[in-house]
Each structure stands twice: as C-alpha cells, then as structure tokens.
Amino acid sequence: MSESSSIGTNSSSGLGTIQSSQSGSSDYSDISGTTVPLILVTSHRDDSTSKLGSQASFKQLPANRYCYTSWHEVKNAEVKGDQLNCPRIREGPREKERTFYSLRDEDGNLVHHDRRGKKRMDYRNKMENWENAVSVNLSFQDLGDAYQRENFVRVLKRLIRTEELQLMDNSLTDVHTVSLPRCKYLNLSRNFIPSFKKLPRLPVVEHLYLEQNNISSLDGLDVLRRAPLQSLHLRSNPVSFSVNYRQRVFQILPSLKSLDGVKRLPSDSVFDSEEEPSRMCVIC
C-alpha cells in the first residue's frame, strides 16, 4: 500500500475528497476548493481499564447526597406539599438516618435541618400540608418496601380536601383503609389492585380510573352505587375480558354514563345468552 491514499468521490460531485497520509492528518477539499485540515483519531482500547469490575471506580455526582432527601428535610425549606406538582414522598432507606444530621453539600454547609424527635415530625407535617391540598399527583413513587408503603398510606389518609388525585404506577395492592371524602377524580391505573374491596372509600367520586390492575371479578363494585359515578375505566383488567362484562357493570351501576371511554349503548342492556367460551387449549 502506498504512503498516501484518496478516500471519497470526485470533487465535482460536491461531496469533496479526503486525502490521508502516514502522518495521521488529512485534508478535506469542498466544492469551493477550500482545504480544511482534519485529524484522524485512531481507536484505542486499554484492556486494563475497559473491563468493569471491582477495580473500576466511579466518582459520584454532587447531587447524589440528595438522593434520599425529601423537600421538607432541606435546610431553610419554604415550599409546602400542596404547592408542588408531583412531590417525591417515597421514604429513603433507614441507613440515611445515620448521616441525616451530618450530611454536607459541596460548600461544606449542612444539607438537612437540625430538628429532632417530635419537633422534626411536627415540622414535616406542617411542610407537607396535605390537609389543604386540592389537586395532588403522587404517581411513580417506586414503593418497593413495606415501610415505604406505610408512609404512603399515611399521606393518603391526610388528603381530606383533595378533589383530584393521581396515584398511577405505585405497585399498590390495598388502600381500603383510606378515606377520600372530597375526591371526585381518582386515577389508580397501573397498580396491582385485586378487587374493588381494596379501594379507598369514595363517597363523591365521579371519574374512576382502574386500568391495568388485577381485578378479576365485579364483587364489591356495588359499593360505588352510592357515589355519583359518571365514568369508570377498567381496561386491561381480567374482568374486562369476561362475557357480558359491560352489561353486568351497567346492571350493578345503573346511573353510570360511560365505561372504558364508551358511552352507554342500547346493547349494554341486552345480555348475551351464550356461555363463556372455554379457556382450555386442545393440542392435537
């Protein structure tokens, strides 16, 4: 191979030509004839550093010290929970308490406030201010541990004035101990609710979203008959694939106006006489 080579197309095409040499530098000529020096970088792999293992170490970002911190734990916090669009209320691991009062920022200042015991709990309740929250979004909280779910339910029980509540994708299975006396709109989609009996008390709910849960029967649905429920969403629940599903829902909830985004139809009052098809698979 010669010391220099030409890569590209004829300059008359407008794409230019790259000429390289052993020196590792190249020239690029565009249609105007202007020559622009290029540098070709050779790919290099160092086997001693390319493998990730026990010897590899990564410096954590400065923001990592805040990964388990709630907004009301920050020193001199002024924002309250009802002022946040989607507050993070997930409890951090118990280990965070070991450094709570000693954790410092990049300038050496304490990250958290210095309140302890009852003063700390009272301050938390004051800054959360859930009793005065009207519209709340507590979705995507990543509740992986029991103590995190307990704290989540604690917050839900304080939402006594909330009218709109988003609780999507929280791995919830049971919130029947919660009462939402003013809630008109509730979104519990993408959780693991197994039954209507596991829902919170909803005396005035008008729009209820329960899509992508694990509800397999209509047992307990009659509890919602006392509420002014207008729309109910049950898509992608096992019960939504059963025979006469829509007819049975409207029979239990005669005042319901819409099911799964579809308004009540005349056919929703006519039951299919056919038996439910077998779910058995026959292999010949």
CATH number of the domain bearing residue 146: 3.80.10.10
What letter represents residue 264's amino acid?
Answer: R
Does the pLDDT of residue 18 top 80, yes or no? Answer: no
If one counts every other C-beta atom within 10 angstroms of the C-beta of residue 181, the result is 13
Per-residue pLDDT tens for 187-216? 999 999 999 999 999 999 999 999 999 999
Residue bearing the bigger pLDDT, 21 or 166: 166
Region of residue 29 (phi > 0: left; psi between -120 and 50: alpha; otherwise: beta): beta
Which pTM value belongs to this model? 0.73
| Residue 206 falls inside a structural domain | yes
Tell me whether residue 39 is in a domain: no
Segment 126-164, tens digit of pLDDT: 999 999 999 999 999 989 889 999 999 999 999 999 999
- Mean pLDDT, range 106-132, rounded to an integer: 93
Count of Cβ atoms closer than 10 Å to residue 90 Cβ: 19
- Choose among 213, 252, 264, 254: nearest CA to 236: 213
- Among 11-25, 57-71, 77-91, the minimum mean pLDDT is found in 11-25
Amino acid found at 208: L
Whether 94 is covered by a domain: the verdict is: no
For the chain, how many structural domains are there in total? 1
Are 113 and 123 spatial neighbours (Cβ–Cβ below 8 Å)? yes
With beta carbons less than 8 A apart as the criterion, state whether 205 and 167 touch: no
CA distance 138 to 186: 11
Q: For residue 256, tell me if it sits in a domain.
A: yes
Is pLDDT above 70 for 229? yes
62 in a structural domain: no
Asked if pLDDT for residue 186 goes beyond 80, the answer is: yes
Residue 208 lies in a domain: yes
- Containing domain of residue 185, as a range? 130-266
Evaluate whether residue 72 is within a structural domain: no
* Alpha carbon distance 98, 63 (integer Å): 18
Q: How far apart are CA 231 and CA 248, in angstroms?
A: 15
In a domain, 56, yes or no: no
